[in-house]
Each structure stands twice: as structure tokens, then as C-alpha cells.
């Protein structure tokens, strides 16, 4: 058995508060993607509630290849019961339209599926992995969760992303240093319709770049079947190699992209939200 990573006193107090809060529910269903936040929450729920805690994972077109297998393995290591539900958000015209509130429709569909699972299993509360850092970002999904009485215990206990990494390491969770892995729909530029074909294009492209060893990175979909590749600035020189450049272009074109571009600003999480800030400024400047 691996030795637990020690925690600072303040974080240990937050951990204990989280476990007590979860224990007060009596039972719960955890929205579980297998990422850092939901894995820490699932572990805490298992500690607090034992077999009265269940992890629920949505399966659908917006889930990247390999993520479901990893979620299954993490749930197994945690020792929590793991349920799979079909994700139907792509059937919603509001989701496919891909406006700035796309995540609202996704979270609504997910929360409804988790609620149905909780009712079927006789569980009292449904919870998700939002943390304190999420509260200041553009997160329409949080509004949907609140409307459906979905609790956010990590945020309620004031836990930040960095603290969750420490907790995951403390609990020997294998994803303690895993980069954020938002759904594939987040790669599609706002205003461009979310379709299964486009999601598959992005997935195939990212699987190829992952095989080349890039970490972290994104392949963004833009109008006209254009790919915008984001890699860390330190990795940009790799694209000076003509052979690598040719392989990337060839593979992404086979995946369905007509144009392949490299973002010289490098990787940054949430880069699609830049257009939202620009639109807000434009609206606020109108008389």
C-alpha cells in the first residue's frame, strides 16, 4: 500500500469538513467523469458513505476516446459502485446550436440522468465536482445544476483546484496530476453547430497528437472545417520539422479537416471564451 501524501493543517480541516458534509446526506450519487475534481469527490463520498455512494458516468459522443476506460479504472481503485448512463444532450437543439450557454443544456441533461439514477437506487442527494475556482469563470452549467438542486460539496467547503490535486495525491489517486479534460464540444467554436461528425473529427485529431507526445494540447474546430492546434509554447519549435508538420496535416485532413493551423500563442485553457469577452465589450459599448 502506498504511503499517503501529508496534508497541511488547513487542507486537512477542509477534507474533514467535506467528509462530514457528505456523511450528512445519508446517501448520494456523484456525477463522475474520472477527472480530478469528480474523482476526489467520489473518493470522499466513498469514505463518508461507503456503499451508499454511487459514481454515475455519462456516455456519449462528446466523451474523448479512452476517458470512459480511465473512469472505470479510477472508480475501481476508489472502490465505489459505478453506474453508466446514456448522454442525450446532443439531441437538444439548444446544445447543438452551441451558443455561449451550451454547457447549460449539457448539465441539464446530465443532472436529469443522474437524478433518475439516484431515484432508481434510492439515493438522497446528487452532487457534482465544481470547486471554488469554478465559481468565478463562465460556467452556465452551474446555473443548470443549481436549478436541479445538485449540490457542489467541493465548492461549499472552499476547495480549490490546487488543493484537490493535493487531496488526490494524499489519497493515492492515479489522476492527481491529470490535466483538465473538458468534453469534446468545448473544442468547437461558439456558433458552429455541434455534430457527432465534428466531435469525431476533433477526437481523431487529438488522439493522433497525443500519440506524438504533446501534453497538454487542444485541437479547436473553426468554421470551414479548420483546425487550430494549441500546444505549449515550448513545444512550438517541434513544428519546424517538416516531417512532423506533414504527418500532422495529413492525419488531420484524413480526419476531416480542410485547413490545419498552429496557434502561435500556444496552449491556454478556455481560449474559446475570448470571443465571449469581446462580445460583452461590444454590447456594453452600444448606446
27 pLDDT exceeds 80?
yes
| C-alpha to C-alpha distances, 168 to 28, 55, 129, 240, nearest whole angstrom | 20, 16, 13, 38
CATH 3.40.50.620 domain residues, the chain: 9-170
Pairing of strands 125-127, 81-86: unpaired
**Lowest mean pLDDT: which of 116-125, 139-148, 269-278?**
269-278
Q: Please give the class, per CATH, of domain 184-276.
A: alpha beta
Per-residue pLDDT tens digits for 243-273: 999 999 999 999 999 999 999 999 998 777 7
Q: Report the pLDDT averaged over residues 110-123.
A: 97
Give every CB contact of residue 75 below 8 A, 6+ residues apart in sequence: 32, 34, 42, 55, 57, 82
pLDDT at 138: 66
Which of 3.40.50.620, 3.40.50.2300, 3.30.465.10, 3.30.565.10 is the CATH number of 9-170?
Answer: 3.40.50.620
Pairing of strands 28-31, 125-127: parallel
pLDDT at 5: 82
112 pLDDT exceeds 80?
yes
pLDDT at 172: 96
Q: What pTM did the predictor assign?
A: 0.90
Per-residue pLDDT tens digits for 197-215: 999 999 999 999 999 999 9
Cβ distance 113 to 17 under 8 Å? Answer: no
Q: What does the angle CA 277 – CA 283 – CA 287 come to, to the nearest 5 degrees?
A: 150
The set of cell numbers assigned to 186 is 468545448
Closest CA to 129 of 42, 46, 48, 68: 42
Q: What is the DSSP letter of 227?
A: E
287 pLDDT exceeds 60?
no
pLDDT at 276: 61
Per-residue pLDDT tens digits for 48-94: 999 999 999 999 999 999 999 999 999 999 999 999 999 889 999 99
pLDDT at 281: 32
pLDDT at 283: 32
CATH 3.30.70 domain residues, the chain: 184-276
222 pLDDT exceeds 90?
yes
277 pLDDT exceeds 70?
no
Per-residue pLDDT tens digits for 136-193: 766 899 999 999 999 999 999 999 999 999 999 999 999 999 888 899 999 999 999 9
User: What is the rounded distance in angstroms from the CA atom of residue 180 to the CA atom of residue 134?
Assistant: 12
Amino acid at each position: 500500500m502506498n504511503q499517503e501524501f501529508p496534508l497541511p493543517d488547513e487542507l486537512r480541516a477542509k477534507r474533514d469538513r467535506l467528509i462530514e458534509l457528505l456523511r450528512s446526506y445519508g446517501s448520494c450519487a456523484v456525477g463522475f467523469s474520472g477527472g480530478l475534481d469528480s474523482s476526489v469527490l467520489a473518493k470522499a463520498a466513498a469514505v463518508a458513505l461507503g456503499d451508499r455512494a454511487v459514481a454515475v458516468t455519462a456516455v456519449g459522443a462528446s466523451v474523448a476516446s479512452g476517458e470512459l476506460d480511465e473512469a472505470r479504472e479510477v472508480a475501481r481503485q476508489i472502490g465505489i459502485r459505478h453506474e453508466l448512463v446514456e448522454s442525450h444532450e446532443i439531441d437538444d437543439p439548444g446544445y447543438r446550436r452551441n451558443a455561449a450557454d451550451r454547457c447549460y443544456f449539457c448539465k441539464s441533461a446530465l443532472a436529469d440522468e443522474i437524478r433518475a439514477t439516484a431515484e432508481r437506487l434510492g439515493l438522497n442527494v446528487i452532487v457534482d465536482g465544481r470547486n471554488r475556482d469554478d465559481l468565478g469563470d463562465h460556467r452556465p452549467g452551474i446555473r443548470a445544476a443549481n436549478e436541479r438542486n445538485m449540490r457542489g460539496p467541493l465548492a461549499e467547503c472552499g476547495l480549490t483546484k490546487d488543493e484537490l490535486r493535493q487531496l488526490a495525491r494524499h489519497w493515492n489517486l492515479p489522476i492527481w496530476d491529470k490535466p483538465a479534460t473538458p468534453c469534446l464540444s468545448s473544442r468547437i467554436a461558439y456558433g458552429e453547430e455541434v455534430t457527432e461528425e465534428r466531435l469525431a473529427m476533433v477526437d481523431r485529431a487529438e488522439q493522433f497528437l497525443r500519440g506524438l507526445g504533446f501534453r497538454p494540447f487542444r485541437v479547436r474546430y473553426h468554421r470551414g472545417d479548420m483546425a487550430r492546434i494549441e500546444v505549449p509554447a515550448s513545444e512550438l519549435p517541434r513544428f519546424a520539422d517538416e516531417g512532423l508538420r506533414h504527418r500532422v496535416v495529413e492525419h488531420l485532413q484524413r480526419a476531416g479537416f480542410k485547413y490545419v493551423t498552429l496557434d502561435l500563442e500556444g496552449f491556454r485553457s478556455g481560449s474559446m471564451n475570448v470571443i465571449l469577452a469581446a462580445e460583452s465589450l461590444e454590447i456594453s459599448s452600444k448606446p
